[in-house]
Amino acid sequence: MGKVRSKCTRFTKKADSIIINHMKEPPICYAKIKKEIPEYTTKQIRQRWTNQLDPKLCHDPLDEYDEILIIKLVKKNRKPNGTICWTTLIPEVEAKTGKKRSENKLKNFWYSRRGQVLSKNYIFSQDDDVLLSQDGDASGGARDDDNVLPFRDDNEVLSRLDILCQEALKYDFLQ
C-alpha cells in the first residue's frame, strides 16, 4: 500500500512568514520549519519556498524570448529516454534572461505547449524528418528550414504560436 496523503491545507500568511524568516538564516532545514508549522510536510514547505516565496523569483509572465529559450534549452538538455531535468534548466534560464523562474513555471509552459501541439493531430514519420497529419499526408507544414527561427519580413510573418509549434513539433511527445 502507498503513502496516505494528508488533507491539503492551504498556506496561510502566518505559515508563509515563518518559512520566509527561517529561509533568511542558514542552514536551511525544512524539518525544523515543519516543527513550527506541523500541518505541512517538509516537501510542501520546500515547494512553497521554491515556487512561490523565494524573493529572487520572477513571477511575471513569460515573454516570447523566454518561451523560445525554454524550448531550445529543453531540446538541448533532454535525455535520450525523454526525461527533462528541470533543476538544471532553471540556472540556465536565469543566466540568459536575468530572471529566476520557478520549476513549476518552466514545466507548466512546456507541458501546456506539448498539449497544444498534440491537439493539432500531428505525428512524426519514422525518420523524424517529415511531419504527418493523422491521415498520413505530409501536410504538417514542415519545411527544410524549420530548425531555424524565421526572420520577420514583409513576405513571411509567422505568429508567435507558429514559431513555438515549429520548435515544439521537433520532439516526439508520443513516447
Question: How is residue 12 written as a grid cell?
Answer: 496561510
Q: For residues 34 and 96, state if they share a domain.
A: no
The verdict on residue 1 lying in a domain is no
pTM attached to this predicted model: 0.62
The answer to whether residue 11 scores a pLDDT higher than 50 is: yes
The reply to whether 102 and 153 lie within a common domain is yes
Residue type, 147: N
**Model confidence over 62-74: pLDDT tens digits?**
998 999 899 889 8
Kindly report the average pLDDT of the chain as a whole number: 75
**Do 165 and 120 meet the contact criterion of CB atoms below 8 Å apart?**
yes
Torsion angle in degrees (nearest 10) through CA of 82, 88, 93, 95: -150
Residue-number span of the structural domain to which 119 is assigned: 64-168
The tally of domains found in the chain comes to: 2
Position 102 in a domain: yes
Four-CA torsion 131, 137, 143, 144, nearest 10 degrees: 80
Q: Which residue has the higher pLDDT, 91 or 3?
A: 91
118 located within any domain: yes
Question: Can you tell me whether residue 174 is helix, strand or coil?
Answer: coil
CA distance 3 to 100: 33
Task: Give me the residue label for grid cell 493531430.
Answer: 121
Q: Which pLDDT tens digit goes with each residue over 115-126?
A: 666 665 444 434
Same domain as 28, residue 73: no
For residue range 24-72, what is the model confidence (pLDDT) as tens digits? Answer: 988 889 999 999 999 999 999 999 999 999 999 999 999 989 998 998 8
Q: What is the pLDDT of residue 136?
A: 42
Domain assignment present for 4: no
Helices and strands (H and E) in the chain: how many:
7, 2
Q: Are residues 31 and 74 in the same domain?
A: no
Cell 513516447 sits on residue:
175
Considering the domain architecture, whether residues 88 and 153 belong to the same structural domain is answered as: yes
111 domain residue, yes or no: yes
Q: Is the pLDDT of residue 93 over 50?
A: yes
One domain, residues 48 and 70 = no
Considering the domain architecture, whether residues 70 and 49 belong to the same structural domain is answered as no
What confidence category does residue 166 fall into, taking pLDDT thresholds of 50, 70 and 90?
A: low
20/105 same-domain check: no
